[in-house]
Amino acid sequence: MKEGVIVMEKEIKPRTTFELKANLALTVNEIQTLTLLYQPLIGPEAMSLFFTLNSMGGQINQPTQTHHLLLQILNISIDKLIHYRNKLEAVGLVQVYFTDEDNYVYLLKPPVKPQSFFNDAIFNGFLYLKVGNADYQTLKKYFIILEEEVKGTLVTKKFNEVFDTTALMNSNQILQATPLPESKEAKPGIHLEYVFNRETLRVLLKQNGLEEKRISDKLFEELNKIAFLYKLDEHELARQVFDATDAEGFVNLEDMRKYAKRYFNFVNKGKLTEVIEIPQASNLPTSKDENRRNSKEENLLELLSGNPFDFLKLKSNQKNPVPADQKLVEWLYIDQQMPAGVVNVMIDYVLKISDGRLPKALIEKIAGEWQRKNIDSTEKAMKQVEKVFEAQKKRETEKKIPAAQSTYLKTGRIIRQEPVPEWLNKPREIVGKDSLSDQDLKKIEQMKQLQNQILNRKG
């Protein structure tokens, strides 16, 4: 089973087979670590899957099994099973392989030790965000080991005080004493794709005076976790490393985390980062049309969810917006702490209905309304705008209904039609005679009858 090779997995069905390499002899401390530290991150369902797999791993006489048994034991669907398995993979408790025989192999891994858990920036940070400060401090106390203090002077002998190593080091036979080969299996814990360009960062670190011997894979791994948590690019990382490097040229990672967190809080006005799960694709195949539609919607959401200042510049034909418009966006994004996507949808909406202007009074009015309605995502903002235009079109449709309406409307009145954002222009929204509801048609018929009665009386 090779790592780093792209293999096309087949669709997992209940009868798809898998081989289980488990049966970990979990200690009481490891079970405590899994229950109190891992479970808040991945949830009880994923934890139950891990313990179930470990229990099933003791069956030596049945090397290959089907997923159907797992579904029956856990009473879940195949999509749920894959979702929970993905969580176990993400935190390093399960490694998944796909063989040439179209068979899966699940290799269970033990949890990291509590000290390693709390020293890991990702594990430690996500646990804090998941449970909050009070419960985090309580959980931490479960794993603090107080060493018994021994009074007196330490007189324990060192190895070289008991054994003569001179003869050993001068012997040619020392060359035959080779260490055990290192395991090719991944180390326990969380593994991340690099969120920065390693070579770019290497060059920047050297420019800042960091010696080549200090730039190691271990340093890059730790910097990657910090960059992931606090959204730092190569240039900001290099600056933070420089600030955390002591007089002897060592990078103090603890100071680095403090500086990164301080910088993140400054940029985000003290707003904490959020721990979210990335939606996973369903196990069921989709049609090409569905894929195309999903791709189009994803691109639209990505455009509307970008940086509000970049979006405003895009709407200004790639020119720097005027200071007044920039201040309005700053007020929405920073002072009101509205999500970027909500700000962008509001900008697009107001620009359309205000002939390319951003009136401050209108922006403030809409912002207050959306906050009261708890519109806190791009999707909710788009639905709100769509709802406004639907209500407007309904009013316009009612105004266009013929018959006795002419008695109540002034002659020659011009009905204003608001422009609509591009992303809201859909074929289904074009209102015509064929698209009127049964209720609207019934109203039209009633109005015609009323008009005929009025004309008959006049005659």
Digit-coded pLDDT (tens) for 426-453: 544 444 445 456 666 666 676 666 666 6
Instruction: Identify the residue with better confidence: 434 or 194.
Output: 194
What pLDDT does residue 430 have?
Answer: 41
Query: Distance between CA 330 and CA 366 in Å, rounded?
Result: 16
Element housing 18 (H / E): strand 17-21
Could you give the C-alpha distances from 225 to 91, 159, 194, 197, in angstroms and in order? 14, 38, 9, 14
Instruction: Identify the residue with better confidence: 205 or 10.
Output: 205
Per-residue pLDDT, averaged over 176-182, amounts to 56
What pLDDT does residue 307 have?
Answer: 73
What pLDDT does residue 425 have?
Answer: 62
What pLDDT does residue 429 have?
Answer: 43
What pLDDT does residue 1 have?
Answer: 44
Per-residue pLDDT, averaged over 80-91, amounts to 93
DSSP assignment, residue 359? Answer: -
DSSP 24-87: ----HHHHHHIIIIIHHHH-HHHHHHHHHHHHHTT-TT--EEEHHHHHHHHT--HHHHHHHHHH
Digit-coded pLDDT (tens) for 28-69: 999 999 999 999 999 999 999 999 998 887 665 666 888 888
Per-residue pLDDT, averaged over 106-122, amounts to 89
Describe the strand order of the beta sheet including 104-108 as a list of residue ranges: 64-66, 17-21, 104-108, 94-98
Kindly compute the dihedral angle of the four CA atoms of residues 288, 290, 295, 298, in this order, to the nearest 10 degrees. Answer: -170
Whether pLDDT at 342 is above 80: yes
Whether pLDDT at 274 is above 50: yes
Angle at CA of residue 130, ends 124 and 132, nearest 5°: 90
HSE, CB side, 13 Å, CA atoms: give it for residue 377. Answer: 4
What pLDDT does residue 50 have?
Answer: 94
Per-residue pLDDT, averaged over 128-141, amounts to 89
Per-residue pLDDT, averaged over 346-358, amounts to 88
Q: Retrieve residue 137's tokens.
A: 């401090």
Per-residue pLDDT, averaged over 398-424, amounts to 55
Paired with 20 in beta bridges are 106
Most confidently predicted of 45-49, 185-189, 279-283 = 45-49
What pLDDT does residue 100 have?
Answer: 74
Helix, strand, or coil (residue 434): helix
Q: What ranges make up the beta strands (E) of 56-194?
A: 64-66, 94-98, 104-108
Query: Distance between CA 215 and CA 203 in Å, rounded?
Result: 10
What pLDDT does residue 449 have?
Answer: 67
Instruction: Identify the residue with better confidence: 123 or 396.
Output: 123
What pLDDT does residue 165 have?
Answer: 54
Question: 30-66 burial, b for 16+ CB within 10 Å, e for fewer?
Answer: beebbebbbbbbbeeebbebbeebbebbeeeeeeeee
At 243, which amino acid appears?
D
- Closest C-alpha among 262, 246, 252 to residue 223: 252
Whether pLDDT at 135 is above 50: yes
**Average pLDDT of the chain, as a whole number:** 75
Q: Retrieve residue 315's tokens.
A: 């709407």
Burial class (CB in 10 A: 0-12, 13-18, 19+), 121: buried
Instruction: Identify the residue with better confidence: 9 or 199.
Output: 199
What pLDDT does residue 419 have?
Answer: 64
In this structure, are residues 17 and 64 in contact, taking their beta carbons and an 8 Å threshold? yes
Total Cβ atoms within 10 A of residue 160: 9
What pLDDT does residue 388 have?
Answer: 86
Query: Distance between CA 315 and CA 338 in Å, rounded?
Result: 19
Q: Which of 21-25, 174-178, 326-330, 455-459 has the lowest mean pLDDT?
A: 174-178
What pLDDT does residue 311 have?
Answer: 81
Share of the chain above pLDDT 70, in %: 66
What pLDDT does residue 43 have?
Answer: 94
In this structure, are residues 132 and 140 in contact, taking their beta carbons and an 8 Å threshold? no
Number of H helices and number of E strands within the chain?
21, 4
CATH architecture of the domain with residue range 17-113: Orthogonal Bundle (1.10)
Q: Retrieve residue 49's tokens.
A: 């899957």
> Which pTM does this prediction carry?
0.49
Whether pLDDT at 331 is above 50: yes
For residue 382, give every residue at least 6 positions away whose Cβ sits within 8 Å of its Cβ, in sequence order, or none.
Answer: 304, 345, 423, 424
- Closest C-alpha among 220, 20, 178, 196 to residue 107: 20
Whether pLDDT at 147 is above 80: no
Per DSSP bridges, beta strands 94-98 and 104-108 are antiparallel
Residue 337: which region, alpha, beta or left (left: phi > 0; alpha: psi -120 to 50)?
left
Q: Which of 31-45, 88-102, 302-316, 427-441 has the lowest mean pLDDT?
A: 427-441
Residue intervals of the chain classified under CATH 1.10.10.10 are 17-113
